Amino acid sequence: MKVVASAKKLAVPAILLVGCALSCSVSNSNLVDRYVELVVMYVGINFILTLSLNLVNGYMGEFSVGHAVFMAIGAYTSAIITVKVFSLSLGPWIFPLAVLTGGMASALAGLLVAIPSFKIRGDYLAIVTLAFNMIVKSIIENVDFLGGPRGYLGIAKLTSLVWVFFFSFMALWVIRNFVYSNYGRGVVSIREDETAAIIMGVDTKKVKIMTFMLSSFFAGVAGALYAHLLQFISPKSFDILKSTEILIMVYLGGIGSIAGSVLGASVYTVLLELLRPLGIWRMVIMPLVLVFLMIFRPKGITGLREFKWFIPSAEKKIKLFKHKV
Amino acid sequence: MRLGLSYLIQQFLNILQLGSLYALIAIGYTMVYGVLSLINFAHGDVFMLGAFIFFLAALWLKLPFIPALIVTVCVTVCVGVLIERLAYRPLRNAPKMSAVITALGVGVFLENFTLALSPYPQHIPEIVKNRAWVMGQVTVSSIQTIIIAISVTLMVILDFLVRKTRFGMALRAISWDISAVPLMGIPVNRIISQTFALGAALGGAAGVMYSLAYPVIDPYMGIMIGWKAFISAVVGGIGNVRGAMTGGFILGTVEIAVTMFLPSTYRDIVAFTLLFVLLIFRPHGIFGTARSVKL
Amino acid sequence: MDLLKITGLTHYFGGLRAISDFELTVNSGEIYGIIGPNGSGKTTLFNLITAVYRATSGSILFKGTEITTMSSDRINALGIARTFQNIRVFNGLSVLDNVRVAQFNKFQYNILEALFNLKSFKKDEALVTERAWELLKSFNLDHRAYDLAGTLPYGLRRYLEIVRALATEPSLVLLDEPAAGMNQVEISKMIETVKDIRNKYGVAVLVIEHQMSLIMGICEKLKVLDFGVTIAGGLPKDVRKDAKVLEAYLGSEVMD
């Protein structure tokens, strides 16, 4: 028994270590095609985005439609740090620090949506998030320091497979822990019946602040990784179309489910790559897929179900299906 | 002094032109929200289609202005009704979120579909000969006159429809309580279709007039204008037709005023900040009152 | 000792007076009943106590603390829990999680301890879970613990609401028509349950009910509301004979 218990304890660091080592060796060898590696990195970044939005839209049942704004804040903050503030000669550790700082800046911005959400719900909150997206985009366009509408240049390619794996894994692990804690149950109770939740003692304000901040933190992390992968960001990279793309991934995979986010991000990203020969027409097909999905399978591929290995061992017996949202 | 009387009159004309375009589109948002409680995100793209079809009608069919306008409105009406029929009606009883996401999806579809057909932006040829009348220091262009005249006429007709006809009564009844309406013998589906048709007609007409005034069209033009119109609807209290018209002129005034004092790139920041602040402090619009929710 | 002391409570909906100059004192460990015809303001009273609505005027003291302007979750933390007339369990959470989330005011770990799965988090979670199991067992809900609450039959969801209320460790529970739609056998079981709440958990109960058998069977004191106005109060046997009460319930056989 003891051996099993300690093995379980080591599982998380072990997976992290093996994963990092593996992705490091893949990057440094020629075993995997560079293009495939790039697509895998996009899957990872999109996974972080999808999962972070799923927290707000799926688990909490609120409706954020401007998620790209948090990505933008993470991207620009981290880019400023690696380009202007610190010289890269300080060492490779500047990059993860820049990514985390980007995430934190984004988490702070998350407060700007969290606080209105105390009073405003549903459609109106959706518009608040969208307005916020537009405001930040317009501000960036008007600030010369950030490159204005032309975009921000000179970002080094610092995102590697290892870092994408590391941050994807952290997002998965941390958000899973959150969801299966009493805070996470509080999040779902808000979705199910906010009035009943607050009367039963759930501090809904605290829960909303934490959820929005956690969500925007990881969106910021994803934005930072994105900026240092593409090496170029502009206000246009983070407009409503990007936000819609993230929404598609969330609802394609399935709301309120980590497995759904893994599937949604992977299927969407890979499908988009496979359809590349179609050129612009693939961008016509994608929104159609979303519409059909909403009509015929509104709960996404997984439909509130969860992969067994994402569930903490103590929680495995809960039957998470056959439920109408 | 730059802020002379003639300058102010000139700006006032600009406000009328911009404001009436916002108002026309805002009516479409507000009517659909009234009957379905749905933000029809695709409405801005119906406006874009209006500009686009007008462009084709003028370029390919070589139609003069009025026939081109009529053809455009007919096509956008069909598109508006089809969107409701194919995308929103199957979701009438689904969770609200599904419908809103579908609306977003339809919008992106229309944008990318238009983009896929041909490379844009493109310039619209001069369809209406633009004459300018100079009165003192004020210049009035024929296009400006056409836009303001057509918009105001359309708004008066719509206001009459909503207030005085059976359709208008049914529309207001549905806005009040959709579940009780079939009991009173009102054909809900038909009224909803007609609402979409009317909204799309006004949106399409706005698209035509916009492309007269700003003759560069691109598939994404509907996003920003659509959102501005939506802000107008929220300013006036969403669901309220006269509110939407007023909201359009208020937003027009704010935007023109901003460009009088600040670089024009600040216009969007001000518009969206207005929306943000308004939603937080007066979510039911300047004129609206909150409906109380019973527990 | 006064557990709950309400004085001069008045609430208007628009121009409509829903509750007027209401007075009530509930002592620790008491079972207090509130009856009255539909629309007489009973549920409004519960909504005022739990801060779903804000009182137009008047004061509500709980354990000597003014709670009239407090937020619902703080009131719960002080020790008031409730059930709802139209059951409002969290359908998308498992039965176990419904009871665990109700301990939101009780667990100690902070957000970082939760996010990084630290020892203190696991220890507290184990405690929360254990307490939830104990409660579920004593109300015979443990066999459905892993099912989603939305899949439970009506009767069990009523009990789950009571368990969820008790999980917040209250000293006063407000029950809003706990026996609505139940037959006589089920009502007797509910009577035993309400007695248990007081006797086993030492919790005072304020109960709204239309089922007179339940009210007369368990309540130590009664108050009768009609159109937001208190028309009678006192011991059940006295209220039963009150002329005004008979008038309010005229033609209703339930008073027998």
Centre a 10 Å sphere on the Cβ of residue C175 and count the other Cβ atoms it contains. Answer: 28
Dihedrals phi, psi of C25, to nearest 5 degrees: -130, 120
- Domain range holding B172? 5-281
Distance from CA of A173 to the nearest CA of C (A): 8
For chains B and C, CB pairs below 8 A equal: 4
Tens-digit pLDDT profile for residues A187-204: 999 999 999 999 999 999
Q: Rounded to an integer, what distance in angstroms lies between the CA atom of residue A84 and that of residue A33?
A: 33
B contacts of A65 (beta carbons < 8 Å): 100, 104
Q: For the residues A74-81, what does the mean pLDDT come to?
A: 95
Binding partners of B (≥3 Cβ pairs within 8 A): A, C
pLDDT for residue B291: 47
- Asked if the C-beta of B161 comes within 8 angstroms of chain A's C-beta atoms, the answer is no
CATH placement of domain A32-324: 1.10.3470
CB-based contact C244:C232 (threshold 8 Å): yes
Asked whether B217 and B120 are in contact (CB, 8 A), the reply is yes
Express as a percent the part of chain C with pLDDT over 70.
96
Indicate the pLDDT class of residue A125, thresholds 50, 70 and 90. confident
Is B99 within a domain? yes
CA distance, residue C231 to nearest chain B CA (Å): 25
R_g of chain A, CA atoms, integer Å: 20
How far is the CA of A207 from the CAs of A194, B195, C110, in angstroms?
A: 11, 40, 12
Give the number of C-alpha atoms closer than 13 A to the C-alpha of residue C76, restricted to the C-beta side. 30
Beta strands C221-226 and C229-234 are antiparallel
* Tokens at C100, concatenated: 């665990």
The model carries a pTM of 0.89
Compare CB distances from A204 to C73, C102, C164 and report the shortest one's residue. C73
- Asked if A123 and B99 come within 8 Å (Cβ–Cβ), the reply is no
Kindly list the residues from chain B whose CB atom is less than 8 angstroms away from the CB atom of residue C87: none
Q: Residue C73 and residue A203: Cα distance in Å, rounded?
A: 6
Q: From C86, which residue of chain B is nearest by alpha-carbon distance?
A: B295
In a domain? residue B288: no
Q: Which element (helix H / strand E) includes B101?
A: helix B96-117
Examine residue B244 and state whether it is found in any structural domain, yes or no: yes
Distance in Å, alpha carbon of B30 to nearest chain A alpha carbon: 13
Give the integer Cα–Cα distance in Å for B203 and B80: 9
- Residues A244, B116: C-beta atoms closer than 8 Å: no
What DSSP assignment string belongs to A195-238?
A: HHHHHTT--HHHHHHHHHHHHHHHHHHHHHHHHHHHS-B-GGGG
ipTM of the complex: 0.91
Q: Which residue reads 């498992």 in tokens?
A: C94
- For A171, A263, C69, the CA distances from A259, given in Å and listed in that order, are 13, 6, 43
B187 part of a folded domain = yes
Regions of chain B where pLDDT drops below 70: 1-3, 183, 288-295
Query: For residue B133, is it within any domain?
Result: yes
Concatenated DSSP letters for chain C? -EEEEEEEEEEEETTEEEEEEEEEEEETT-EEEEE-STTSSHHHHHHHHTTSS--SEEEEEETTEE-TTS-HHHHHHHTEEE--SS----TTSBHHHHHHHTTTTT----HHHHHTT-HHHHHHHHHHHHHHHHHHHHTT-GGGTTSBGGGS-HHHHHHHHHHHHHHT--SEEEEESTTTT--HHHHHHHHHHHHHHHHHH--EEEEE-S-HHHHHHH-SEEEEEETTEEEEEE-HHHHHH-HHHHHHTTT-GGG-
- pLDDT computed for residue A322 by the predictor: 38
CATH number of the domain that residue B225 is part of: 1.10.3470
Could you list the pLDDT tens digit for every one of the 256 residues in chain C?
689 999 999 998 877 888 999 999 999 999 999 998 888 889 999 999 999 999 999 999 999 999 999 999 999 999 999 999 999 999 999 999 999 999 998 888 899 889 998 888 989 999 999 999 999 999 999 999 999 999 999 999 999 999 999 999 999 999 999 998 899 999 999 999 999 999 999 999 999 988 888 888 899 999 998 888 888 888 888 888 887 777 776 545 444 4
Q: How far, in Å, are A124, B39, C191 from residue B282 at the CA level?
A: 11, 18, 48
User: For residue B34, which of B271, B248, B288, B277 has the smallest C-alpha distance?
Assistant: B288
Q: For chain A, give the number of residues.
A: 325
The pair of structure tokens assigned to B133 is 């009348």
Query: Which is nearest to C235 in space by CA: C221, C217, C219?
Result: C221
B213 in a structural domain:
yes
Residue of A294, A323, A324 for testing the chain B interface, max B β-carbons within 10 Å? A294
Q: Supply the DSSP string of B201-215, one letter for each residue.
A: HHHHHHHHHHHHHS-
- Nearest Cα of chain B lies from the Cα of A189 at a distance, in angstroms, of 17
CA dihedral A77→A79→A82→A85, nearest 10 degrees, is -50
CA distance C45 to C42: 5
Chain C residue with minimum CA distance to A325:
C92
Q: State the count of interchain CB pairs (< 8 A) between A and B.
A: 113
Q: Which chain B residues are within 8 Å of A141, Cβ to Cβ?
A: 265
Phi, psi values for residue C87, rounded to 5°: -35, 130
- The predicted pLDDT at position B139 comes to 84
The answer, yes or no, to whether residue A316 has pLDDT greater than 70, is no
Cβ atoms of A171 and A100 within 8 Å: the answer is no
Estimate the crossing angle of helix B142-164 against helix B188-213, to 10 degrees: 170
- What's residue A90's pLDDT? 66
Residue in B48, B102, B264 to test binding to A, most A beta-carbons within 10 Å: B102
**Residue A55, both tokens:** 């927290």
Count of residues making up chain B:
295
Per-residue pLDDT, A93: 80
Which tokens go with C86?
A: 């139209």
Give the torsion through C-alpha atoms of A237, A243, A244, A245, to 10 deg: 60
From A63, A141, A284, residue closest to B112, measured CB to CB? A284
Number of domains making up chain B: 1
Whether A285 contacts A89, CB under 8 Å:
no
Output the pLDDT for position A114.
92
Cα distance between residue A97 and residue A216, in whole Å: 17
What six digits make up the tokens of C2? Answer: 């006064």
- For position C1, what pLDDT does the model report? 66
B293 domain residue, yes or no: no
What is the predicted pLDDT for the residue at B2?
Answer: 55
Interchain CB distance below 8 Å, C73 and A317: no
Q: Please tell me which of the candidates A116, A142, A284 has its beta carbon nearest to residue B265.
A: A142
Structure tokens at B222: 């509907």
Task: Give the pLDDT score at B295.
Answer: 36
The answer to whether position B292 is within a domain reads no
**What is the Cα B257 distance to its own chain's centre?**
21
Chain B closest-CA separation from residue A142 CA (Å): 7
